[in-house]
Amino acid sequence: MKINVEVDCTPEEARSFLGLPDVSKANGVYIDMISKAMKGAGSVDQVQDFAKNIAPMGQVGLKLFQQFVESSSAFATGAGKKKDD
């Protein structure tokens, strides 16, 4: 038997339901800092240098994050479970 449940809610409602903290203030500060830093960038090289500073692990960090998201998604959908015939 397969049961699907669809929940239609805002990100704020989902965070509250799951007991996660409200990060809207921190996100606002982060966006402001990024916006100010990007306004000062006059060339592609400056943007690349800025990206290296905020993501010091570069490609390796992005790959680790991607693996984390994929494994979390697989766990949430039950891909790791063996199906009984």
Pull the structure tokens for residue 27: 């996100």
**Cα dihedral angle (59, 15, 5, 83), rounded to 10 degrees?**
50
Q: What are the φ and ψ backbone dihedral angles of 51, each rounded to 5 degrees?
A: -60, -40
Q: Under DSSP, is residue 40 helix (H, G, I), strand (E, B) or coil? A: coil
| Among candidate residues 76, 71, 80, the one with its CA nearest the CA of residue 14 | 76
**pLDDT tens for each residue of the chain, 85 residues long:** 999 999 899 988 888 888 888 888 888 887 887 777 777 666 777 767 766 766 666 667 667 777 777 787 777 666 555 555 4
Cα–Cα distance list, 63 to 12, 69, 77 (Å):
27, 10, 21
Contact of 33 with 23, CB cutoff 8 Å: no
